[in-house]
Amino acid sequence: AQTVTQSQPEMSVQEAETVTLSCTYDTSESNYYLFWYKQPPSRQMILVIRQEAYKQQNATENRFSVNFQKAAKSFSLKISDSQLGDTAMYFCAFMTSGSRLTFGEGTQLTVNP
Amino acid sequence: DTAVSQTPKYLVTQMGNDKSIKCEQNLGHDTMYWYKQDSKKFLKIMFSYNNKELIINETVPNRFSPKSPDKAHLNLHINSLELGDSAVYFCASSQVARTEAFFGQGTRLTVV
């Protein structure tokens, strides 16, 4: 069974600073995709960034980047220059060939002014 | 242009009632899903359909029945609603297995 673990239920960061959210996963599959989704108070699930397991290069999307360590089964999200609008629940997710998107428990990030 | 749309956004109903949540996607995706988000914000897959065929059916009470009339629609019908069914239900779609899922805005179901 695939599992995704986010060990930080809550985090906070000052505006303009950098924060890293942790995620580990467990799977026996070799081909899979990893994602970070953001859920602001509006409830909408928004894709932040994705990473293909076969790619060694870490994905980057503007202020968001990941540190993908395949051997360690780790997939952390770094948010640079944090903005107030980044305040949200962040979910790490994992998708396998069975079309099953498995989510972690989430990390509530608060950006303070 | 809404990619994945669910209706209604909010649904308040009494125990024992039967209700439906509708979902439509205009992305041309071949796979659609229903997820349940509980009060602790945990997201769990309920069902997945690929080209109108059921491919994932998690351990969900048989009071929950998905219906996919075509690959752009996946509706969720719930019979004999219980208090524990109160949650946010998300519809999602993806193009091919292994790519990201696009989510609807969610339906907050409250059973009283």
B12 CB neighbour count, 10 Å cutoff: 12
Q: Distance from A49 to chain B by nearest Cα, in Å? A: 9
| A100 shares contact with chain B (CB less than 8 Å) | yes
| A2 shares contact with chain B (CB less than 8 Å) | no
- Say if residue B96's pLDDT is above 90: no
What the block records as the tokens of A13 is 């960061």
- Say if residue B26's pLDDT is above 90: yes
pLDDT on residue B49: 87
Residue-wise pLDDT for B46-92, tens only, equals 998 888 888 877 878 999 999 999 989 999 999 999 999 999 999 99
DSSP letter at B101?
Answer: P
By three-state DSSP, how is residue B62 classified?
coil
A97/B108 touch (CB, cutoff 8 Å), yes or no? no
Chain B contacts of A47, Cβ < 8 Å? 100, 102
pLDDT on residue A30: 83
Q: How far is CA A76 from CA A11, A13, A89, B4, B67, in A?
A: 14, 16, 15, 28, 37
pLDDT on residue B92: 94
DSSP letters, A28-70, are: S-SS-EEEEEEE-TT---EEEEEEETT--SPPEETTEEEEEET
B1 confidence band (pLDDT: 50, 70, 90) = low
User: Domain with B43 in it: what CATH number?
Assistant: 2.60.40.10
Domain around B35: 4-111
Arithmetic mean of pLDDT, B96-109: 86
B45/A102 touch (CB, cutoff 8 Å), yes or no? yes
Chain B contacts of A98, Cβ < 8 Å? 55-56, 97
The nearest alpha carbon in chain B to A31 belongs to B98
B97/A39 touch (CB, cutoff 8 Å), yes or no? no
pLDDT on residue A99: 67
A100/B48 touch (CB, cutoff 8 Å), yes or no? yes
What's the domain count of chain B? 1
Residue-wise pLDDT for A58-82, tens only, equals 999 999 999 999 999 999 999 999 9
A65 CB neighbour count, 10 Å cutoff: 17
Chain B contacts of A103, Cβ < 8 Å? 42-44
A47 CB neighbour count, 10 Å cutoff: 15
Q: Distance from B80 to chain A by nearest Cα, in Å? A: 26
Pairing of strands A10-14, A107-112: parallel
pLDDT on residue A108: 97
For residues B56 and B17, which has the higher predicted lDDT (pLDDT)? B17
The CATH architecture assigned to A3-112 reads Sandwich (2.60)
Spans of chain A, pLDDT less than 70? 97-99
Domain ranges for chain A, please list them: 3-112
- When CB atoms are compared, the residue of A44, A50, A97 closest to B100 is A50
Pairing of strands A107-112, A88-95: antiparallel
Contact by Cβ (8 Å): A34, A55: no
